[in-house]
Structure 1
Amino acid sequence: MRKHIFNCHQANYSEALRSLESSTESAGTMESFFKKQKLDDNGGENMTMIGVVLELNVQKLKEYVRQICTVDGLPFNTFEKSGMSQIFNPIVQQLRESGQPISLTSHQVRDIVLEGAVKLKQRIKQEISGRMLCLKFDMATRLGRSFLGLNVQYGDSTGIQIRTLAVREVLTASTGAELSKLIVNILQDDFDITLTQIYTITTDNGSNALLAGRLISTACVESRVEVQEENRDDQDDEKIEGLLQSSTAEFLMSTYGVHQVRCAAHTLALAVNDCIGQKAPESTKCLLQRARSVVCTLRTNNIRKELKRQNLPMAILDVETRWGSTYDMLERLMQLSTFCKDNEMLIERLKLLEDEWGSFEELVESLAPARELTIKLQNSSLTPGQTIGHWQLTMLSLGKRSTPLAATLAERMSARGRFLLTPPILAATYLDPEYRVLLNEDQRKLAKTELEAMYRKIQLLNGQDFDLDGGISSESAVTDFESDIDTHSLSPMQLMLLSKEKEMSTQAASSGSKRISDNTTIIDSVDGKSYKHVECPFKYWSQQDSKILSQLAWTALAVPTTQVSVERLFSGVKFILNDLRNSLSDDSLQAIMLQRTNSLM
């Protein structure tokens, strides 16, 4: 840059040099030097030349290069293109002259990205070391290549933390056995994660994903039993041996295994497909085919032009396996109903009966609550209690709609929703001061049992002993909750939760019983507390005196109920792995996605 100014702008060289020498900012900052100069080249008068003085070092330049190739998604050869090379070559040359050699060829840029991935892995290793972790994974195909996406999730005093571990190409059959081997290899070889650290695995309802989760859980049981045998005292040998010999497979899985959590968004999709998919009544199937026929007509070339001329939205044709696109298709069709009615005499295929239009409107109205729930489930920081709350609120909303489809959908959501109420979800909801009221007495008992099992797993992870007879009573109870509800500005969710609280209080009063039968442990001390709205349950528990309850709460509340963050991984893969970069190696794609997704998170 200095040579360029000297050779081409000698009149400005001295002033630029003084500006450079007087700069005292740290490396990596930028100070601009402006000097206007009229050009005289066939109409170029009044244009301005700008001289820029940069303070940069090799490490800072590498950081910018990594961001360009990962977050921005540009290819490795970006800096070899004519325009970019004219910008970066003077910078590279100046760094070389100052004794900081660097090259921005495609091979060197790839090495810079791979180097950044190695450093990021080390930081993630340190961050998750010794923590109880929740996994979630999914499979996707892009340009004929199959990929496994793997996230890890945990909680701390600030909230839910999500980290991408892998976007790995799967070169074997996508069976449950092969997937479980690949996942365990990534955990142990790439991130030094032991199986005793895994608390839950969130998957969709696919048979291969469920089998992979069960195989990993079995391996975790063996690992935790082995750790327990290594840590036990001689005086406890007989007690532990008797316990293990008399234990059923169910006890071992609940105490030492990994819980599988089904994705709430996928479960909702199955419930909706029960109503409008292959299992739907023939009348509903025929109605949807009639809608698709009209939409195909609206998407013909001449009609598309007419819609555009009238500033009307384009018709949407659904993908039959994705119910959300079916809802979008029907909603858009209703928006174009006036256009269809105005032109049905000219275009016979646009003609529909009034009863058919009424049926389409009923379909949209009945599916609207499920569509709203789908959007809410896209929040990757959703806690289990919030998920259950939104699920129940959606069923209440469906119940207020007097349509057969809404009633059927509410019934299917109730039936499939039971698979979501696994012990970790109940435990997390129990420790959520806002959503605890959603649990009945039996669910609270299961939640407390699960929290004791979680406590044992945490102690095993930390190499501590525990009381095999159960009971956690070594610390003070949780602080009483205070009611701080603004009754003048209640949301539908708050109204539902307060109604649940009142219902439970009425039932307890009529039966003459208390919620807590034996308040002897700090886990029991949480029960019996009234509804309390909190902005962040993680922060709430960090302010409590009980460190044990705080640790349990952070672990439980971080259990993922959806695979949203993994789905976003695949959206990133679609952005990076396009038709022009389909030959990108697995190592390069892994390095790009690891840095891209973790920086965005």
Structure 2
Amino acid sequence: MQAAVTNHTPARGDAFEAELYKTSNKSTCEVEGCGIEIIGNHGGNLQRHIQRRHPELFEKSLQDLQNPNKRPAADGQNTLDSVMVKKPRQVQVALTPETLKEACLELVTVNGRPFSLMEDSGFRKIIDPIQNAMGKNVTINSSNIRDMVSEIAQDEREKLETELSGRLLMLKIDSATCRDRSVLGINVQYSDGKGVVLRTLAVRDLTERHTSEYISSVVMDVLRQYNISLQQVYSVTSDNGANMLKAVSLLSDIQERAVSNEDATCEETEEIGEDVEMVGEDEGSQEEPILQLDSVSHGHVLRSVRCAAHTLQLAVDDSLKQASNIIAKARRVAKRLRSQNVVCVLKRMGHKRAIVDCATRWHSTHDMLQRLLELKTFCEDMAPTIPDLHLSESEREYVSNTVDALKPAKIATKCLQSDQLTAGEFYGIWLKCSLDTEKLASPFARKVAQCIKARQSTLFDNDAFIAAVFLDPRYRLFLTECQTEKAKIHLYRTWEAIQNLEPRNAASGSDVCAAASPTQSHTSSDDEIEHLLMEKERDTSSTQRRPHVSIVSLLDTYSKEARLRRTEDLFQYWARYSVSNPDLYKLAMSVIPLPVTQVSVERAFSSLKFILSPLRSSLNEKVLEDILLVRLNKQYGL
């Protein structure tokens, strides 16, 4: 049976017909005994009418629709059967199994979705048709995706192991607690010649008390996982926590003992003290005495570097202790401004809400005081009604001076967030912060400047930092003569450490060659002349690998070159030495990327909070580490 709609005369002889008259724009149901008029001739309306009022005809229309021998509609008519059942639209999408798996991996790593998403009914409605079309070789479920994350994480570790092999590396470590789980974040940093390269080695679960011995053992375990020798570690940047500083000191002691043992096994020792002895200041000078090259084991370069951002925070906290009373009163005013009745008034008047600070974060204290200054007029107008909003004129002036004094430090802290920050650039940021603060005439500003100067010694009196600034021709002139000589001594030892890494690679390469050609090795062992030549070759290579006085001469020549403008790119400057002076270039690329902050580790902890959501708080520690390794290294460009 067929129902038709015509724009002119209804087709006779049908059991049901609906007529549309142009003049009235209505369709009339011609089913016997019905006669209901429907506005327009929309197929959905006609279908609903038949389905509700004439269910028998509706069922018969469905059957006729499935009958290939159904009679065609008359000319000029639109059959209602064509709108009774809508045929599904088929869409072809260019999607490979690899792309599908990568998308699912990205969901659980970068996007932070739980593995249980793979079993959700809504997701299965999307993924099952795709999975069926690709064949039985493609299976997507929570278990498979978890295994894939582990496989990808292992591939990333293998890539990192190859990438970091034979390099002098800088580490950054920090610990955090999230949802009753303590972790230690470890980042590694180096230069590829074009800029600073940052990688995440691990975000490892801590299962014991955060003692310095335990933290150092976890760091060593992570290094062994990547086949990184402790002799490759140039520096470790951490916060000012006592356990972190002691852990780095333990690592430095281990490196020193290892280097001393290697020196003790050498048959020949090189007398270099007299050749490169540095001349210090006069006896009456107040400068720190010059270190001699033989006072520390040759090749022992591991230094502890304190986080500059954390040190600046401590300096500001020291100064804020002098303003604790006025800050406490300002905090009470801010809390009163956040009460419900006052908030409603502020909102009606178009003002911003007051800010209540977090006592341990001075940035929020600065923002709270600044917002109080913006609400000064409102507080003065409301003070007769709400006495808690009253601040005297002297108190408001002190608040204003505090905000002005903290502004340079706040700007400097934001500048320290950069991932490509070098030691020289940090030196310029810190110096500008100190100078801008000293320019302010208020007593509180002078106190802030004093606290900054008192704390900066822990940053500047560091061999690794001084050496990095020395190799930055934009800021080298800020170093004193004593600091310059200390930098040269440390760079000399660093060059020796770099040279000591090369024999290990060369030896492994020789072993591979020997294994590849046993016949040749057997033949050469029978040749006494060849044997003597091989011994001479080893002796020559050993002599060449040792540090030469020439590296000190190169550093002396470099120190006399003209200053580089601050706007110039440091890595482009050193790229010019890659051909003309490859040794000095190699030394510079090993020292310049010194990390002066641990900001990247704190960003890793932000990812930890994102991944370790309430729905994923019970993640296995191995799975959690794999997810974070993939996620963080994708962000850093691995």
TM-score range, shorter chain: 0.7 to 0.9
Q: Residues 157-196 of structure 1, C-alpha deviation per residue, up to 9 Å, x if partnerless?
A: 11100000111110011000000001100111x2111111
Residue aligning to 2:177: 141
Residue aligning to 1:550: 585
SS at match of 2:493: helix
SS at match of 2:596: coil
- Output aligned runs, 1:565-584, within 5 Å: 565-584=600-619
1:427 and 2:459 are equivalent in the alignment: no
- Output aligned runs, 1:15-94, within 5 Å: 40=44, 51-94=90-133
Which residue, 574, 579, 583 being the options, matches 1:541?
A: 574
Distance in 1 (CA, whole Å) between partners of 2:120 and 2:557 is 66
Please state how far the C-alpha of 1:198 moved relative to its aligned partner: 0.4
SS at match of 1:136: strand
Letter in 2 for 1:435: Y
Distance 1:408 1:254, change over 3 A: farther
Residue aligning to 1:121: 157
- Output aligned runs, 1:144-163, within 5 Å: 144-163=180-199
The answer to whether the 8 Å contact 2:422/2:596 transfers is: yes
Which residue, 550, 554, 569 being the options, matches 1:473?
A: 550
Q: Tell me the number of residue pairs that the alignment of Structure 1 and Structure 2 aligns.
A: 503
Please state how far the C-alpha of 1:580 moved relative to its aligned partner: 2.3
Residue aligning to 1:19: none
Per the normalisation by structure 1, the TM-score is 0.79
The answer to whether the 8 Å contact 2:499/2:545 transfers is: no
Which residue, 376, 379, 385 being the options, matches 1:337?
A: 376
SS at match of 1:141: strand
- Output aligned runs, 1:44-443, within 5 Å: 51-97=90-136, 100-102=137-139, 104-188=140-224, 190-229=225-264, 232=266, 234=267, 236=268, 251-252=295-296, 255-276=299-320, 280-281=321-322, 284-421=323-460, 422-443=462-483
Q: Residues 63-118 of structure 1, C-alpha deviation per residue, up to 9 Å, x if partnerless?
A: 22111111111111223223222222211111225xx332x222222112111111
Distance in 1 (CA, whole Å) between partners of 2:115 and 2:208 is 28
Aligned residues with identical type, % of pairs = 36
SS at match of 1:52: coil
Distance 1:296 1:384, change over 3 A: same
Please state how far the C-alpha of 1:538 moved relative to its aligned partner: 2.1
Comparing 123-132 and 455-464, the one that deviates more:
455-464
Distance 1:288 1:384, change over 3 A: same
The answer to whether the 8 Å contact 2:216/2:250 transfers is: yes
Q: Residues 31-78 of structure 1, C-alpha deviation per residue, up to 9 Å, x if partnerless?
A: xxxxxxx99599999x99864322333322222211111111111122
Distance 1:447 1:65, change over 3 A: same
Q: Residues 453-500 of structure 1, C-alpha deviation per residue, up to 9 Å, x if partnerless?
A: 1100001111264689965427xxxxxxxxxxxxxxxxxxxxxxxxxx
Please state how far the C-alpha of 1:444 moved relative to its aligned partner: 1.1
SS at match of 1:137: strand
Residue aligning to 1:523: 555
Per the normalisation by structure 2, the TM-score is 0.74
Please state how far the C-alpha of 1:312 moved relative to its aligned partner: 2.5
The answer to whether the 8 Å contact 1:156/1:538 transfers is: no
The answer to whether the 8 Å contact 1:66/1:116 transfers is: no
Distance in 1 (CA, whole Å) between partners of 2:598 and 2:423 is 13
Distance in 1 (CA, whole Å) between partners of 2:89 and 2:253 is 66
Letter in 1 for 2:440: R
The answer to whether the 8 Å contact 2:301/2:497 transfers is: no
SS at match of 2:483: helix
Give me the CA root mean square deviation: 2.8
Distance in 2 (CA, whole Å) between partners of 1:578 and 1:253 is 48
Please state how far the C-alpha of 1:331 moved relative to its aligned partner: 1.5
Comparing 403-412 and 386-395, the one that deviates more:
403-412
Q: Residues 215-245 of structure 1, C-alpha deviation per residue, up to 9 Å, x if partnerless?
A: 1111111223344456x4x4x15969xxxxx
SS at match of 1:151: strand
The answer to whether the 8 Å contact 2:202/2:222 transfers is: yes
The answer to whether the 8 Å contact 1:136/1:560 transfers is: yes
Distance in 2 (CA, whole Å) between partners of 1:264 and 1:410 is 16
Q: Residues 139-168 of structure 1, C-alpha deviation per residue, up to 9 Å, x if partnerless?
A: 111111111010000012111000001111
SS at match of 1:53: coil
The answer to whether the 8 Å contact 1:459/1:466 transfers is: no
The answer to whether the 8 Å contact 2:173/2:185 transfers is: yes
Which residue, 491, 497, 503 being the options, matches 1:451?
A: 491
The answer to whether the 8 Å contact 1:172/1:178 transfers is: yes
SS at match of 2:105: helix
Letter in 2 for 1:285: S
Distance 1:553 1:52, change over 3 A: farther
The answer to whether the 8 Å contact 1:155/1:538 transfers is: no
Please state how far the C-alpha of 1:286 moved relative to its aligned partner: 1.0
SS at match of 2:296: helix
Structure showing greater radius of gyration is: 2
Letter in 1 for 2:613: N
The answer to whether the 8 Å contact 1:426/1:447 transfers is: yes
Which residue, 573, 582, 599 being the options, matches 1:564?
A: 599
SS at match of 2:138: coil
Distance in 2 (CA, whole Å) between partners of 1:254 and 1:372 is 41
Distance in 1 (CA, whole Å) between partners of 2:324 and 2:294 is 43
The answer to whether the 8 Å contact 1:456/1:466 transfers is: no
Letter in 1 for 2:154: V
SS at match of 1:319: coil
Distance 1:72 1:453, change over 3 A: same
Runs of 5+ unmatched residues, structure 2: 1-41, 49-82, 273-290, 504-540
Residue aligning to 1:11: none
Q: Residues 533-588 of structure 1, C-alpha deviation per residue, up to 9 Å, x if partnerless?
A: 35432232122121111111111111100000000000111111122221111111
Distance in 2 (CA, whole Å) between partners of 1:291 and 1:392 is 30
The answer to whether the 8 Å contact 1:389/1:438 transfers is: no
Please state how far the C-alpha of 1:432 moved relative to its aligned partner: 1.0
Letter in 2 for 1:587: K
Letter in 2 for 1:185: D
Letter in 1 for 2:571: F
